[in-house]
Homo-oligomer: A and B are copies of this chain.
Amino acid sequence: MSAARRPDRDATRPVYVISVAATLVSAHPRTLRIYEDEGLVSPARTPTNIRLYSEEDIRRILWIRHLTRDRGVNLAGVRVLFELEERLGKRILEVLYVEGTRGRDDGPREPAGPEDGPASPGR
């Protein structure tokens, strides 16, 4: 599983409908719609207006979940952080994970995000 190296399996490819996406991030569909209303994530839409989340969208949402649940940051804070990330180039948040995983064993392993390991939520 998780063998995604096919070119056609782009992480930006919209594939998950909201119920699946919600399951993937352990949140209520309602919550995902709220994130979208708040401008924190922008899933693609089918020609008939159905939301489709890509792998990147999922990762971005996992960032939001991490920041809000583990760090106690509210959505306004998440917005500022994303805004900052967008302005300062890329992954500045990744720096947080190094500390977020508490424990000083400088393991070169992946920051171990909520699940797969966060990658910059570039939209």
Binding site for B on A (CB under 8 A): 67, 71-74, 76-78, 80-81, 83-84, 87-88, 92-93, 95-96, 99
Tell me whether chain A's interface is mostly helix, strand or loop, or mixed.
helix
Residue contact B77 to A88, C-beta cutoff 8 Å: no
- A74 lies within 8 A of B71 (CB): no
CA distance A95 to B77 in the complex (A): 15
Q: Which of B78, B84, B95, B96 contacts A96 (CB 8 A)?
A: B84
A63 to chain B, nearest CB (A): 12
CB neighbours (8 Å) of A87 from chain B are 95-96, 99
- The smallest beta-carbon distance between A21 and chain B, in angstroms, is 24
User: How many Å lie between the Cα of A32 and that of B49 in the bound state?
Assistant: 48
CB pair B67 A80 closer than 8 Å? yes
* Known A74-B72, A76-B74; contact A81-B81, beta-carbon cutoff 8 A: yes
Cα-based distance from A78 to B77 in the complex (angstroms): 8
- Chain B residues near A78 (CB, 8 Å)? 77
Q: Which of B72, B73, B77, B92 contacts A92 (CB 8 A)?
A: B92
